[in-house]
Structure formats: structure tokens, C-alpha cells
A and B are shown apart, each in its own frame.
Chain A
């Protein structure tokens, strides 16, 4: 039996749906295999993480911290994890692992034709996208990272973020981080999309669960503005059947996340006045995104939550795909409680009684 690989490319055989990539990256590999435009990249697998933790002996400390966190007050967690985090950030990487990351980043440079190609370094937990236990946004993400050393540094940062306060203090319906949080994560290294605009879209209306709509939010620059919620996005509601734009709410956007060459980092920077009040994507782009969302939903067989980006040339990329978690947990019981002939419905309506009622929802058993 061959050992589990430290590295899996998104476009590699066996990558789609592979648990070694964590939820996020396994989904992206699946999208890439299905022909969707996903930026090139590879995952440093959960096997690599486990290898690191076991070689460095940090795994024992990690187990202890997780157990102790259950009964530790939130204000003390930082103290509890300090040594572990420091260890993850500084312990020597096993030579084979380090070499694998270095050579594959070099391969990405070659593939993209760019030395020091800017990448996003993202955490992809084994269970973070599982319905009901969403740790979305709790793990760290590093944007516009350039060069092997920086990539190695931020890979450790992703690993360490598993022991952040928000993760370890997680409590939900009797479960806690020790029982539901990831035992390991994959770190995705993926070419950065130089987004002109980016955002999130749902293949249902998150306000009422209506499955006939695609609701899309977008902002200028990188999608962090939408994801973090510190930029009020433009919002489109699109009919999923006819692809009409039913509603378009433009929001003034005085700031955007973009790469700042002066500091060499991504920052929230002012948007020049002429773009501020303009909608960040064209109607045609919104419709193209909506069609993409519908395809992804059909392919994956359920309502989806999709992160997307559009570059200067208008090329669309899929950055993340995961199942919608709120309405998918519930069941629409419809609006008609008992069968009636259509004529009776109409007569009743003309008698002044509204036949149609808001559909009733209940939790799935």
C-alpha cells in the first residue's frame, strides 16, 4: 500500500472528492474535473499535516489542548494553546514534506508562467463544509502570497488556525470542538485571481428558501469584502428558469480589497469616485454567473453556496463551492393543505379568500 500523498493537484486523477483535500478543495477538484473554471493549484493534504504533527511530536499536545478546551474559559484559551501554536509555527518541517511543497510551488510557477506567482493559501477542513457543522471562515486564509518561503510560513498559519479561539470555543447543540472539529486540515495553494469584482451566490433565495431564484452578491476587488461583510455589496436576484434579472440593488462601495504594491499585501483601499456608484458586474456577467450556478447545482444535486470572481477581462472563476446549509436542513411543506379542484380554487379566490398562502417549512427529521 502506498502512503497517502502530501500533495494533490486539483486537476489530478483521484483528486475530486478526495477526503485528503478537505471539503473545500475536494469540491473544487470536482468542479475542475467537471470543466468549470477553477484557478490552478494544489492541496497540501491532511496526510501532510498528520505527518508534520506526528514527526514533530505536536500531536500529543494537540490532543491535550482539545480535551482541555472543553472546560476552559474563553479568556484562557489563548494561554492554553500558546505553546502548541508556537510549535506549529516554528518546528522544523520534515524534509520530504518541505521539498514537496517547494517543488510543487515551483511547478505552479512554471504552469502559470510567473515567477513568484501570487497564490491564495487557504485552509480546507475535513468537516468544515459538512452540513450543520460549518466552521466556514474560522480558519485562516492568506491572499496574494508570493514566493516559497511565504507560502511555507502561511501553510503553518493555516495549520495553527485550527487551534484558534473561535474554533476551540465552538459549542453547538451539545457538541464541542473536540468532538466535531477537524482532526486535520488540508492547505490549498491556488493561483490568485486578480479579481475586478468578486462575491458569493446562492442557488436559492436565502431570505425565503425560494428555489426558483439565484441570489448573487458582489463587490469591487476581491470577494473578502462580501465574505467578511465589511463592504455592502451589489445584489442581483435572477430567475433560475428564465434567467431574467428580477431585482438589482446597487450599493455605493467606497472601499475594496485589493493588492497594494506599496505594502505588498491585500488591504481595504479606497475606490476611485467614478467606480463607487457603478455596479461591479455587468448584467451579462451576472447572467453568465447565474447559468454557472445553475450548472453547478444540477451537477451537485442540491442548493449551493458559491464563491466567484471576475477578472479584468471578464473571465469568471469558481473559488469555492459548498452545499447551502440553512434551507437545505428544512423541508418545504408547500401551500396547499388539501386537494381541491382548480375551479373551486378560483371561485374561492373571487369570493375574496386568498387561495395562495406562504409555504410552510419545517425542520427535516
Chain B
């Protein structure tokens, strides 16, 4: 995929002038021809905008969407395409930054930040920015309290949304209350409310986030100057809370495990792999109802926990698939049986944070530097509860509920004979869903067969085939013309992309990667063992003790698996990568951002993970 012209150009000028493949020259994988029809016109590279698009730098956002997008799921990326962008461009006009543009190539998302270069414009924007963003920082705590209220209200309204197949006759109450609007209108407007509710939460998502990351970025750069080479794991250790909402679901499992032991019900938890069988046995056991009450209480809201990043409908959610939480709980019950303490050592984590912070502070040379350090750290402690907790409210609680509502809607389409399976709806873009819904109510209103009953099945079938082919394609890390320097703060903050990252990507030839893969050293230590490739949720249940987890990306809800593995490797990961944070907590070596680990390593290969150097080596290939 590397272009020949790149190296020629470099020889001509005698300096680094390589570029990434042009988005216009990437081949479509065989069998995926016509993939463009899965997505709206504005998401595609096009000849009309080629000059602009070819001159830009695009990088693969595998951190949020490691897989090709389902047409319906673009609502998530389309949301932040606007919601994150407008915060920087129009709401708090970050002087040097406009928004972040998107395109899809072979179903994978590539993004490109826009900058502002005109000094006059920058000065003008700076004035507005300072006033507006300053207001948020000054009133942060109060604004966060309000934010949480808005978020809870938005989730409550989402939960109230219901979809039902249209009735044979419209209900009598619509007639006798003289409403004048009927089930057809309700169905359409409920769909609109669902979409708007999603976009509303999507907007809250970014209300405070960029400022929070900005505080971290500033602190990080300050420390990197004072202590060159200081690692992100040290910095996040100083900044992150030891107790936040993302840890609550796992904490609830620990509590339930303790309760089961206390009620002498441990055998029931450990004795069943199947969640339904376990819960049935619990219901029959003496004292089981007390445990079940606690279990039900914990589920709301803590089991609204995605096993992915939350941006795709296909990631199972605890509340829908109890195997993962119950597997974790079994682990805790067994640990208690061995007399282990399963509580998280909050006190010692806090003490460790205090000690690391104090020692670093003591190494600063001047009072002014110490003052800046103290101030920036205090500001980070102020903003981090939002930075950490928003993730539970938005990606987990809200978005998992959203996907379950979309499935309710899909059931309406199944009931009206448009599709065979509720999952098929995700092969339609949300705007196509609106059309299909209108088609559906035409059929209902007129009594004719809706065209959709014939129209959509072959399309869904074709799109599924195309997406399956695309899922096997390995997207290059970047496209287009690399920038000489990256100053745009959001790119650095959210994706950890710097000039060095780009340079490294330019040097990587995926075909030549061979047996040694380089990534970001995320959690220290070394381990060897058999690799277990986990590319979907079902694979998680195959993981055996002592194996090394190799995945595209991990999610917070995978935590239970970390107690069984020897090390973790992920294709994707930025400076705040979850894999890194959780590996550190479990004391496991981890290398993230490896790029091609899942493509290069096979389950059963013996690999060595060096979390200090950021290297993954294949020691022995599994027999084919």
C-alpha cells in the first residue's frame, strides 16, 4: 500500500517528505465493491473536493471505531463530527483550531483537524475564547452539578421512549380525546425524539470535555519539560481519581460476591456458568431473595455497561448479557474462598498518589515552578471527576439504553415484515430508517403492501456481505499529506498524535512487521505466554489463565478478564488508553497502539510482551 512516489520525492528533496497513501488511490477489497452505498454522500471522498481532501492529513480513528461502521452507527460519529467540532470552532473559538473533519474509507473512519492560521483571526477568536472558556473554568463545580442533572434528565426521557407495532385500528382514546394525531404520527415523532435525544446527549458529551483535557494537556507538557521522558502513566497517576463511576460496576460485583459469601450462597454463584440457571437456583435457595434484591438494585444503573467503547450497537452490554459480570463475580467469590481480600486498596492508592506527587514537586527547581505545578494539579483534580465520570453517563448509561431503544424500533420493522431480524436494521442509515418508517406508515394507512417489505431484505443482505469483507481489511494508520508540525491542541489531547507519532507511522511497513512489533509502553514489566486474540465479545469467554490478551482495543467492562491474563496488547491506544490504566491497576505488562497486533499474531502463538520497551515479539508460531 505504500506509494512508490513517496520515496522518490524524498530522494529528490533530500529531506523527509514522505506521504501516506492518497485516499483516492486505496483499492476496494474484492467483494466490497459498492461499499459507498452504506453511508451518506457527505461521508465520502469525492472528485469534486479532491484537491482539498488530497491536501489534508487524515488519520484512522481506531481508538473509537476499530471496526468498519454499521450504517446506523454513524449516528455516533456524525454526532461528534459536529458536537466536538463546534465546541472548538464556534462555541469556545479555540484560536488556532476549527473542527475535526471526517471521511469514511472502506467503512473505516479517518479524521482530520482543521486549523486557523490568519493571525488577525486568531487574535479575534482568542478574545472570545478566553472569556467563554474562562467562565467555564471559574464556575466548573457548579456547571458540573448542572451537567449531571441535564444528563440524568436526558437519560430519563430516553427510557420513557417506547416503540410498538402499529395497531389494526387506531386506539379509541385517540378518537374520544379528540387528539387529531394518531399512531402513525406517534411512531414518526417518537423516532425523531429518539434521534434528537441521542444528539442532545451527544452535545452534552463535549460541553466540558475539551476544557478538561486541556487542563491535563497543559499539566502534561509542563511536567514533560521539567522531567523529560516522564511517562503518561506517572502523570495520570498524579491526576486521576482512585474512585470514579467507571469503577462502580466492578465494585458492585465485589459487593455482590461478598454478600453471596456472607449469605452462604457462594456455591450457587460458582456452580453455574449459565446466568439463567444461576439466578433460578438463587431464587430457590434460602436467603436467595435477599441476594437477588441486591443484584437487581446493582443493575440500575451500573449494569448499563458496554463491553466496548459504547459507540457501536454490536458491543454487548452487561444488562443484556450477564455472562461477563457473573464470570467476574465467580472469580471474586473464589478469591474470597481462598481467603483473599478483594476490596480495592483505595487508601494505599491515594497514599501512592500523594507520595509520587510530593516527590515530583520536590524535584522542581524554583518556587514559581512549584506554584505552577500545584495550581495545574489542583485544576486537574477539579476537572477530572467530570472527565472520568462523563464516560459512564454518556457512553455507558445513555448510549447502551439508546441501542436498546433502536432494537425496540427494529422489532416494529420485523413485525411489519420489513426485515427478518432486529439486528438487520443497523444496516440502514438513520435517514433511510426515516424513509422506511414513512413507507411503513403508508402501507398501514392505505392497506397496500409497503414497498419496504420487498425492498430492504436484499439490500441488508448485500450490505452485510460487504461489511464482513471490509472487517478483514487492515486500514493504514494515516492518509494524505503529513503535517510538518502538529500544534492543534485537540489532536494531541484526544488522540495523542504528535509529529513523532506521524514519523513513526511513516516508518512502519505493515508487511515487514514480522515477529517484532513496536507499540507504546503502557504498563511496565515483561511476560511471555500464549496469545489469545480477542476480536469480539464471544472470544472473551475463551480466555484461559495465563494467556496474553491481544485485541483491537479494550473496554472498562473487560476488567474481569484482566485478573486471568499475564499481559495485554492492543492495536489501538492513545495517551489515556483504557488498556494501559487497567493493566497498571492489575500490575500487568501492557503495550498499546501496536497497530497490527491482531493481524500479525494468531491465537496460540507464544509471544513476549515487554511493557517497559513497548515491544511485542513472537517467540514461537502456533502450528497452522
Residues in chain A within 8 A of chain B (CB atoms): 205, 208, 210-213, 237, 239-242, 244-248, 283, 331-343, 345-347, 349-352, 354-359
Q: Which of B227-235, B420-428, B455-463 contacts A (4 or more CB under 8 A)?
A: B227-235
Among A208, A212, A283, A339, max chain B CB count under 10 A is at A212
Given A241-B234, A355-B218, are A350 and B612 neighbors across the interface (CB < 8 Å)? Answer: no
Q: In the complex, A332 Cα to B224 Cα: how many Å?
A: 15
Nearest-neighbour CB distance to chain A for B504, whole angstroms, equals 16
Asked whether A354 and B221 contact (CB < 8 A) given A241-B360, A339-B368, A342-B378, the answer is: yes
A sample of 29 inter-chain contacts (CB < 8 A) reads A212-B363, A240-B363, A241-B359, A242-B356, A246-B230, A246-B612, A283-B526, A334-B226, A334-B364, A335-B225, A339-B372, A342-B218, A342-B372, A342-B379, A345-B222, A347-B130, A347-B133, A349-B214, A350-B211, A350-B214, A350-B489, A351-B126, A352-B96, A352-B487, A356-B218, A356-B221, A356-B222, A356-B224, A356-B226
A contact residues around B214 at 8 Å (CB): 346, 349-350
A211 to B371, CA, bound (A): 18
A239, B369: Cβ atoms under 8 Å?
no
Q: Does B137 contact A (CB under 8 A)?
A: yes
CB distance from B106 to the nearest CB of A (A): 34
Identify the interface centre among A211, A332, A347: most chain B CB within 10 Å of its CB: A347
**Cβ-defined contact, B368 with A336, below 8 A:** yes
Report A-chain residues with C-beta under 8 Å of the C-beta of B210: 350
B99 to chain A, nearest CB (A): 15
Cβ of B389 within 8 Å of any chain A Cβ, yes or no, is no
Interface size on B, residues (CB 8 A): 52
Apart from A332-B365, A351-B122, A359-B365, list 17 A-B contacts with CB within 8 A: A241-B234, A241-B363, A245-B612, A246-B230, A246-B231, A334-B364, A334-B369, A335-B369, A336-B369, A338-B368, A342-B376, A342-B378, A345-B372, A347-B129, A349-B214, A349-B221, A356-B226
- Please indicate the chain A residues that have their CB under 8 angstroms from the CB of B237 in the complex: 242
Q: Does B508 contact A (CB under 8 A)?
A: no
Contact between chains at B524 and A245 (CB < 8 Å): yes
| Closest chain A residue to B224, Cβ basis | A356
Closest to B88 in A: A350
Interface string of B126-164 (1 = CB under 8 A from A): 100110011001100000000000000000000000000
Closest 3 CB pairs of A and B: A342-B375, A352-B96, A332-B365
Tell me which residues across on chain B come within 8 A of A332, comparing CB atoms.
365-366
B388 within 8 A of partner (CB):
no
Q: Nearest A residue to B374 by beta-carbon distance?
A: A342
Interface bits B212-255 vs A (CB < 8 Å: 1, else 0): 00110110011011111111011001000000000000000000
Complex interface residues of chain B between 346 and 403 (CB less than 8 A to chain A): 356, 359-360, 363-366, 368-369, 371-372, 375-376, 378-379
Q: How far is the CB of B235 from chain A (nearest CB, A)?
A: 11
- Residue positions of B touching A, CB distance < 8 A: 94-97, 122, 126, 129-130, 133-134, 137-138, 210-211, 214-215, 217-218, 221-222, 224-231, 233-234, 237, 356, 359-360, 363-366, 368-369, 371-372, 375-376, 378-379, 487, 489, 524, 526, 612-613
Q: Report Cα–Cα, A74/B129, bound state, in Å.
A: 68
Closest Cβ of chain B: how far from A303's Cβ, in Å? 11
B residues within 8 A CB of A336? Answer: 366, 368-369, 371-372
From the candidates B130, B218, B613, name the one contacting A345 in the complex (CB within 8 A): B218
**Chain A residues whose C-beta falls within 8 Å of the C-beta of B130 in the assembled complex:** 347, 351
Say yes or no: A351 contacts B612, CB within 8 Å.
no
CA distance A17 to B356 in the complex (A): 33
Decide if B134 touches A347 in the complex (CB within 8 Å): yes
Given contacts A245-B612, A332-B365, contact A352 B95 (CB under 8 A): yes
Question: Given the known A-B contacts A212-B360, A342-B378, A343-B138, are A239 and B371 also in contact in the complex, defined by CB atoms under 8 Å?
Answer: no
A339–B224 Cα distance when bound, in Å, is: 19
Asked whether A351 lies within 8 Å of B376 as measured between CB atoms, the reply is: no
| Chain A residues closer than 8 Å to B524, beta-carbon distance | 244-245
Enumerate chain B residues within 8 angstroms of A246, measured Cβ to Cβ: 229-231, 612
Quick one: given A340-B372, A342-B372, are A210 and B227 in contact (CB under 8 Å)? Answer: yes
Question: Which chain A positions have C-beta within 8 A of B137?
Answer: 343, 346-347
List of A residues within 8 angstroms of B363 by Cβ: 211-212, 240-241
CB distance from A341 to the nearest CB of B (A): 7
Q: Which residues of B contact A245 (CB under 8 A)?
A: 524, 612
Q: Which of A210, A241, A338, A342 contacts B228 (CB 8 A)?
A: A210
Contacts of B375 in A (CB 8 A): 341-342, 345
Contact among B211, B218, B234 with A239 in the assembled complex (CB-CB below 8 Å):
B234
Residues on B with C-beta less than 8 A from A356 are: 218, 221-222, 224-226
CB neighbours (8 Å) of A210 from chain B are: 226-229
